[in-house]
Amino acid sequence: MRTLPPLTDCIPAFGRHRGYPPRYGWLSKVHSALLQDPACMSQPDAPVVLGVGRSMVFAMGFWSQAFGLARRDGNGLVPAPRAHWLLDDARGADPFLELDASLWLLHWWLLSASPCLVPSWRYLFGHAALSHYSRAELQGHLADAAESTGWKAPSASVLAADLGCLISMYAPGDQASATIEEGLANPFRTLHLLEPGPPASPAPDRSHRVVIRRGAGQCCPVLIQAYASLDFAARIAGPTPGSVSLSALASEPLGPGRLLLTGITGLRRALHQVAASHPGLAIVESADGEELLSYSDRPSRLAAELLTGAYPGCKPISTR
């Protein structure tokens, strides 16, 4: 497969979240507000409607777009089909995002989006080669990635703020000092994809290091892993029935093995389990002995079926 620059298909902008990671209730609040008024985010009373400070209003709108739950339409935002499927009060699969499956799904939608609105996130999960980094090292790698993609490298302060938001979103922090309020405010910390690294002697400040927890995605529900695999297959192999190698799913920078942190062992186990009970899927062996995920229908259609199955009783998700 042709190697592309690391931030290809990302929006060349950092820090549009204004320093705020997505908090509990934000995505549902924005969805409900947009159903009433697509221009609500730009109205003077937006902080009152959304129940947040004025500085957070822009961040809430940004995250709704970054997860693919809203799209710009004229001067306002409108909910995307997937937002109706997931967040509608009456028939949504998980309106209050109470299930871990929903957080894994949103994480996949965020990082696999085309275009991706969070290039630092895409780089860390999809391209970072190591598991332990200092923030300074990550800033340097991000600057290099931006330049190799043909962008002007952002300033160190912008990258530092971007990484601060990313780490705050996923890392539970120092448990000795973390407050209950901090833990409750950041839902994606429950996925435990990042954690503070060991203090670099003699510096005692753990916040300056981060560890990517390779293999953390083995806790991701198997149907979400299979959904992501078919979603990825549709992008790299086309929209028709076919197959994709498990090694590509596990190792490609934008595949589920990397973005969901499952690794080959966890992803292989999940796909074997799902394929054993779904007539449209099978794990087969190629002529040279490589394992393939074979799908007998359009991958987008099968992915939608699997996602619906992850939320018993919900309506089918649109494949648009």
| CA dist list (Å): 62 to 83, 143, 283 | 14, 23, 39
pLDDT of residue 176: 41
Distance CA 54, CA 203 (A): 37
In the chain the domains, ranked by start, together with CATH numbers, are: 25-96 (1.10.10), 102-213 (no CATH), 218-309 (1.10.10.10)
Question: Is residue 312 packed enough to be buried (19+ CB in 10 Å), middle (13-18) or exposed (0-12)?
Answer: exposed
Question: Per residue in 153-202, pLDDT tens?
Answer: 899 999 999 999 999 999 986 444 445 555 568 999 999 999 876 655 55
Distance CA 140, CA 201 (A): 21
Question: Per residue in 263-278, pLDDT tens?
Answer: 899 999 999 999 999 9
Contacts of range 168-176, beta carbons closer than 8 Å, 24 or more positions apart: 168/21, 169/21, 169/22, 170/194, 171/195, 171/196, 171/210, 173/207, 174/206, 174/207
Contact 58, 94 (CB under 8 A): no
Query: Within its chain, how far is the Cα of 81 from the centroid?
Result: 18
Provide the 10 A C-beta neighbour count for residue 23: 19
Distance CA 190, CA 312 (A): 22
Q: How does DSSP classify residue 111?
A: H
The verdict on whether omega for the bond into residue 81 sits within 30 degrees of 0, i.e. cis, is no
Question: Per residue in 13-51, pLDDT tens?
Answer: 999 999 999 999 999 999 999 999 999 999 999 999 999
Q: What share of the chain is helix, strand, coil (3-state, %, to 5)?
A: 50, 10, 40
Question: Per residue in 194-226, pLDDT tens?
Answer: 987 665 555 544 456 899 999 999 999 999 999
Claim: this prediction has a pTM higher than 0.85: yes
Query: Within its chain, how far is the Cα of 271 from the centroid?
Result: 20
pLDDT of residue 180: 54
- % of the chain surpassing 90 pLDDT: 83
Contact 167, 194 (CB under 8 A): yes
Contact 22, 78 (CB under 8 A): no
Q: Which two tokens stand for residue 243?
A: 């197959």
Distance CA 191, CA 28 (A): 19
Q: Which residues pair with 212 in a beta bridge?
A: 194
